Amino acid sequence: MIPEIGHFALILALVVALVQGIFPIVGAHKGWASWVAVAKPAARLQFLLLLVAFAALSWAFLQSDFSVRYVAENSNTRLPQIFKFSAVWGAHEGSLLLWALILSAWTATVTLFGRSLSPLMMARVLGVLGLVATGFLAFLIFTSNPFTRLLPAAMEGRDLNPLLQDIGLVMHPPMLYMGYVGFAIPFAFAIAAMLGGRLDAAWARWSRPWTQAAWMFLTLGIALGSWWAYYELGWGGWWFWDPVENASFMPWLAGTALMHSLAVTEKRGAFKAWTVLLAIFTFSLSLLGTFLVRSGVLTSVHAFASDPSRGLFILLFLATVVGSSLALYAARASKVRSHVRFALVSRETALLLNNVILVVTTVSILLGTLYPLIIDALGAGKISVGPPYFNAVFIPLTIPLAILIGLGTVARWKRDSLAHIWAKVRLPFVASLVFGLVFPAVAMAHFTWKAALGMVLAFWVLFTTVRVIRDYARGRGLGGLSLSQWGMALGHIGVAVFIVGITLTSIYSLEEDVRLVPGDHYRMGGYDFLFKGTTHLEGPNYQGTRGEIVITKDGRPVTVLYPEKRNYLTGMPMTEAGIDPGLTRDLFVALGEPLGADGAWAVRIYVKPYVRWIWLGALIMALGGILSLSDKRYRVLARREQRAMAGETA
């Protein structure tokens, strides 16, 4: 009964989304107030209906109702309660329902916080979001219905993929979707602004906090995924340039570009047409990401179930969204020329370069991700593009970006001089050279020029940011800084921390797969790993083996790690690594496979310096995003505009 209520709510939500998509847009075009007035209630109703649908599916999971096919395929009575709930979005159908729910939640939030929007603008924004929701709900209902019954009901469920039975993966998809779907908001703002023919600073100011919010969630989502892959896959890697990872990284890069170009549009009124294009581009990449992950066209380690009709549907949807928005752009963009001048040496130029580099990076990754698909479609062979390609393209493009962070933040808007910029960055420049060259020589095992380059860049970003903060604080103290200034500073410091993490981890990691008999020692990076042997392990829905490894350094005990090898009821094996985390190094131990009768195991032993800094950097960036979007400027200005508008109509 409850699943039917959910199913019914889902169908109603589709109808409401269609109403929300058509009436307000037509109404705004024709000037029919009663049609425009439909927008807000429809958006809120849609959220409510999807909440009911989601709750119904969650209930089916918690009750282990195996007469629902999706539940039977992805849950099990012996699954711990928390994972029964997270199993709701553990596979295709449920994760799409979550996608739709999050979209409607964002939309409902717009109706609450967007009070300063003119009713027409609001109607258009909600209308565009309604159309996007219509596409997704149709996809959900017609190709991937989570409420389909299974008759007769299964006695027992097939169990959730053990890889997903982990807190990291409970949180990862919702965060990622918050990010993906969040970019629908700046997209809707851009489309609505083009429909209304009003692309001004106010539009950029409305879009900015929403973009920052989406970007913040996407940052957290990607970082969580990377962290999960690190400790759960048992390979100790944190980024594989896997197509599915790229699918989330491309909207992140484009979103980063969008955030920066929105800053220029708001402050200086420049880059308008470009910003609109970026908003379209970013959301299209989010949709493309969903397509790549959900259609199964990619051979990836993530290997989600595939179904050609689903892929075709998303591809058509993607083509419709991209096609129609680009057509609208082509018709309207020529009218939104920015007539703002700026000199070659100015912050605008730095931000323009930032945008160019970010977009070029995105396109290079897109090319590497789609290339195998294109070659395959042309029948020219089955190829794969490996991580070396992405590293070879990404790293050289990131270096100028890091340099630009320093130059752009100290440069003045509109017009600056090289002499003035040099005067400001001279000290940070020298300091970063000194610290960057000394650090690898003193703190690390041996000096390499690559490490020195990475550290110089990290210190450069850090010191120039500190310099800018000092300038801002002059005369009014650190307390006088606005939240968005702090947000900018933290975002950039996060980048510095991130650079430290990647540089030192990729250069100084020690990795070895070794055969160990109980009692064997293995020395690595100054640590002594003693393999004590293995014991049998009994879990709620798995059995396994647990190893014990005692780690000492110079005779002093460091820690004891217990890596596990589990065999789940589904027959799927899993590696649970043993990790001793630390600020300057992680010790990582994983069990491979038993080798022979003498109790020998293949054991994977890693020493990974500064690996935590990668995720720490992402966390700091996300914190920067939160500070920026909570800046009171957005609310104060919004209120002022509201008053101005009330004055106009009075």
Please name the helix (run of DSSP H) or strand (run of DSSP E) that holds residue 262, with its range, or none: helix 243-268
Q: What is the DSSP string of 126-185?
A: HHHHHHHHHHHHHHHHHH--TT-B-SSPPSS-----GGG-SHHHHHHHHHHHHHHHHTHH
Residue 65 main-chain phi, psi, to 5 deg: -80, 90
Instruction: Give dist(CA 368, CA 91) in Å, integer.
Output: 26
Instruction: Give dist(CA 293, CA 177) in Å, integer.
Output: 12
CA–CA distance from 241 to each of 176, 234, 368, 614 (Å)?
Answer: 17, 17, 10, 15
Bridge partners, 260 (sequence order):
none
CB of 340 to other proteins, least distance (A): 13
532 interacts with other proteins by CB under 8 A: no
Binding mask 121-160 for other proteins (x = CB under 8 A): ----------------------------------------
530 interacts with other proteins by CB under 8 A: no
- Rg of the chain on CA atoms, in Å: 26
3-class DSSP state of 464: helix
CB of 371 to other proteins, least distance (A): 7
Piece in contact with other proteins (CB under 8 A), picked from 54-62, 282-290, 393-401, 628-636: 393-401
Among 371, 429, 435, 562, binds other proteins (CB under 8 A): 371
Cis amide linkage into residue 152, ω under 30° from 0 = yes
Closer Cβ to other proteins, 296 or 501, answer by number: 296
Q: How far is CA 377 from the centre of its chain?
A: 29
Instruction: Give dist(CA 56, CA 241) in Å, integer.
Output: 37
Among 41, 308, 323, 386, binds other proteins (CB under 8 A): 386
Instruction: Give dist(CA 87, CA 77) in Å, integer.
Output: 12
Task: For residue 256, give the nearest of 105, 380, 357, 335 by alpha carbon.
Answer: 357
For residues 419-450, b (16+ Cβ closer than 10 Å) or e, as one string? eebeebbeebbebbeebbbebbeeebeeeeee
CB of 604 to other proteins, least distance (A): 6
Piece in contact with other proteins (CB under 8 A), picked from 51-59, 103-111, 361-369, 424-432: 361-369
* Residues 459 and 503: beta-carbon distance below 8 Å: no
Which residues between 310 and 349 bind other proteins (CB under 8 A)? 341, 343-344, 349
Closer Cβ to other proteins, 443 or 514, answer by number: 514
381 interacts with other proteins by CB under 8 A: yes
Piece in contact with other proteins (CB under 8 A), picked from 435-443, 480-488, 585-593, 609-617: 585-593
Among 50, 128, 352, 499, binds other proteins (CB under 8 A): 352
Among 522, 532, 558, 562, binds other proteins (CB under 8 A): 522
Residues counted in the chain: 650
CB of 87 to other proteins, least distance (A): 15
Residue 565 main-chain phi, psi, to 5 deg: -125, 115
CB of 565 to other proteins, least distance (A): 8
Closer Cβ to other proteins, 31 or 596, answer by number: 596
Among 150, 443, 595, 637, binds other proteins (CB under 8 A): 595
Among 333, 340, 483, 520, binds other proteins (CB under 8 A): 520
Among 26, 171, 322, 385, binds other proteins (CB under 8 A): 385
Which residues between 564 and 583 bind other proteins (CB under 8 A)? 570-575
393 interacts with other proteins by CB under 8 A: yes
Piece in contact with other proteins (CB under 8 A), picked from 268-276, 364-372, 496-504, 628-636: 364-372
| Total binding residues toward other proteins, as defined by CB under 8 A | 52
Which residues between 205 and 264 bind other proteins (CB under 8 A)? 234
413 interacts with other proteins by CB under 8 A: no
Which residues between 494 and 513 bind other proteins (CB under 8 A)? 513
Bridge partners, 533 (sequence order):
548
* Residues 295 and 314: beta-carbon distance below 8 Å: yes
Q: What is the DSSP string of 552-570?
A: EETTEEEEEE--EEEEETT
Closer Cβ to other proteins, 137 or 298, answer by number: 298
Please name the helix (run of DSSP H) or strand (run of DSSP E) that holds residue 521, with its range, or none: strand 521-524
Closer Cβ to other proteins, 312 or 343, answer by number: 343
Q: At what angle do helices 2-30 and 39-62 cross, to 10 degrees?
A: 160
CB of 234 to other proteins, least distance (A): 7
CB of 384 to other proteins, least distance (A): 5
Distant-in-sequence, close-in-space partners of 57: CB < 8 Å, separation ≥ 6? 3, 6, 68, 70, 71, 88, 94, 97, 146, 147
Task: Give the N- to C-terminal CA distance of the chain in Å, as an integer.
Answer: 53
CB of 414 to other proteins, least distance (A): 13
3-class DSSP state of 600: coil
Closer Cβ to other proteins, 299 or 584, answer by number: 299
Query: Which residues of this protein are in contact with other proteins, per CB under 8 A?
Result: 161, 163, 234, 299, 301-303, 341, 343-344, 349, 352-353, 356-357, 360-361, 364, 367-368, 371, 381-386, 388-389, 392-393, 396-397, 513-516, 520, 522, 570-575, 590, 592-593, 595-596, 602, 604
